Structure 1
């Protein structure tokens, strides 16, 4: 059955035919990019108290303690009279204090780094408009939309900038982010970031990191590194992800689920190449579930990296994914999983697997729902 030709009887039962992500070309104004720099819906309600440390991993308990202290230190009144804010108090100071101005959470995928970063955002005693939260990709997209100087002006009055999934994928981003964070630190903005790579190791295996060593070391100097050990909580003690379904089962579930989308996987990959990654969140606005037919290995690295961004946005929004074809752990080639972007790909596999598990309810029999 064609993904663009839903069965009339099932469509009438659900009240509407599934939407197609491939038919969407969202426009995202710059002010929306700024307004959306808050923890995503999945992390609306998380707090330090809801983080459950693995008792076998003392670094997880230590991270909660470090971040709780860090958040408490960001309290106090705003600077007045144009004075520059300090790190642990926001009175007038002659210059930014020496030493690291932020905390950097390093660890494998699935140890709860984003949970802790969002908890820090919530715990920081400042109005929401004085705190910003976004992924590394979203931060670079903001610079692209506003321009460098306007981005500095927009973020320089913030108390805290949280950067999730800190990545340095090319020399241009290295210099851009290094310069931006340096400017923000000069304005007294505290920083917090997560990544799977220690600050001094950013960029390894992706480009000639030695040529940009000065910039990378400059970034590292802004952060105190906090290691978080542990296994992926998304799969800790849980059953394996469900096997892919048939095309007919996926199509039927899409047609019976209000708000679901239905696309052929190869078509979606082609469409992602025509939509800027900054718009992937808007691409899924109002979508209750993503249904994909014919999942197969991604053909090249550029396509794979776009899929990683989409997986992150779907995971942030808790959108389940029901798919036919190959299982998600076979999306990326062995060469990709051994290359410089391997940690991105493993994160994507982890998140897509969790969303596939969430989608099982879409194919349950009605009486068991």
Structure 2
């Protein structure tokens, strides 16, 4: 057991400067080394292998030099896209089929300097606009060859209008787009807000993308043993004290703390954390809290931070109503990722 007490996520209120937001628009640590040839397609799902081929061709087509004038550039070396056609690809499929792996592989395969490529989640993109302002965000990203947007979801009408306007401007500047989501671009926002009232904006977003369906089962649990059951609170506490860089928090208190930190800062919230230890895990009380927890789960997964928990298992975090509602795919993704991180945390008990 170490002498120092564990860290606490509840004690952190990070502030992320705008220049860091831009500099960190690269694939997160879990996906830093992935490439198309490290993607393991399910032989029973031909759409997975087809996605690798389509994305490889798409990346190769982004190698052209800038066209003269206005910062615009040629799109495809062999056959430029028509101005009215889609300027991007949209990876649609269930959770755990490797969409983020493929999106990061596209970023790595695109023949351009890292400073000319951007990779971020939808939440991070909207926060960048909040930090820089709309016009400055357009200026910052318009010189890029590729913008990759992970976990593309529209949770409110304001985001719909904002992102539609931003992407339209970037497409006009010649920026290629790539995105992942569990929802087809024409169905964004469905079941979450009055999508019919914003049909024009949603259709405008859809027009920028060529949908690429990826079928399959959750690879995170393909052929793996069942996730470990939650541990006694005393065991989790001991492991937190014995693990350098571990955090230890009461789960309900952590959920309250997340309400005081903007979701775009959840990555910074976990800076330097080598393991997250939680006691008294219980069902989340409402949908707003649940959505914040989804973002935290994504950031922990991106950063490969194991999660050791006492209380209820992660598959009981969300109510049946939540799992059958408009955000169900987000919740199932969070359960999948937290379960994988719980499996990664198992060695902490044995040390």
Specify which of 76, 80, 83 is matched with residue 97 of structure 1. Answer: 83
Partners of 1:296 and 1:86 in 2: CA distance: 53
Specify which of 319, 324, 332 is matched with residue 305 of structure 2. Answer: 319
Alignment match, 1:30: 18
The answer to whether residue 169 in structure 2 is matched with residue 183 in structure 1 is yes
Q: Secondary structure at the match of 1:11?
A: coil
TM-superposed deviation, 1:83: 5.1
Cα deviation 1:271-303 (Å, max 9, x = unaligned): 101111111111100000000000000001111
Cα deviation 1:53-106 (Å, max 9, x = unaligned): 00000000000000000000000223344352121259xx9x972300000000
The answer to whether residue 207 in structure 2 is matched with residue 216 in structure 1 is no
- Give the length in aligned residue pairs: 350
Partners of 1:183 and 1:82 in 2: CA distance: 13
The answer to whether residue 157 in structure 2 is matched with residue 157 in structure 1 is no
Q: Secondary structure at the match of 1:234?
A: helix
The answer to whether residue 138 in structure 2 is matched with residue 147 in structure 1 is no
Q: Is residue 65–residue 73 contact of structure 2 (8 Å, CA) maintained in 1?
A: no
Alignment match, 1:353: 339
Partners of 1:339 and 1:86 in 2: CA distance: 42
Partners of 1:240 and 1:143 in 2: CA distance: 41
Alignment match, 1:61: 49
Partners of 1:142 and 1:76 in 2: CA distance: 27
Q: Is residue 142–residue 173 contact of structure 2 (8 Å, CA) maintained in 1?
A: yes
TM-superposed deviation, 1:17: 1.7
Larger of the two Rg values belongs to structure: 1
Alignment match, 1:115: 101
Cα deviation 1:120-164 (Å, max 9, x = unaligned): 000000000000000111111111111111110100000000000
Partners of 2:229 and 2:322 in 1: CA distance: 23
Alignment match, 2:2: 11
Q: Is residue 307–residue 341 contact of structure 2 (8 Å, CA) maintained in 1?
A: yes
Alignment match, 1:128: 114
Q: Secondary structure at the match of 2:221?
A: coil
Partners of 1:83 and 1:361 in 2: CA distance: 51
Q: Is residue 96–residue 186 contact of structure 1 (8 Å, CA) maintained in 2?
A: no
Q: Secondary structure at the match of 1:61?
A: helix
Alignment match, 1:246: 232
- Range that drifts further, 51-60 or 97-106: 97-106
TM-score (norm 1): 0.93
Cα deviation 1:185-208 (Å, max 9, x = unaligned): 000000000000111111110001
Partners of 1:89 and 1:24 in 2: CA distance: 48
The answer to whether residue 75 in structure 2 is matched with residue 84 in structure 1 is no
Gaps of 5+ in 2: none
TM-score (norm 2): 0.98
Partners of 2:130 and 2:100 in 1: CA distance: 24
Gaps of 5+ in 1: 1-9
Partners of 1:280 and 1:296 in 2: CA distance: 20
Q: Is residue 84–residue 96 contact of structure 1 (8 Å, CA) maintained in 2?
A: no
RMSD across aligned positions (CA): 1.4
The answer to whether residue 217 in structure 2 is matched with residue 231 in structure 1 is yes
Partners of 2:186 and 2:154 in 1: CA distance: 11
Partners of 1:98 and 1:338 in 2: CA distance: 37
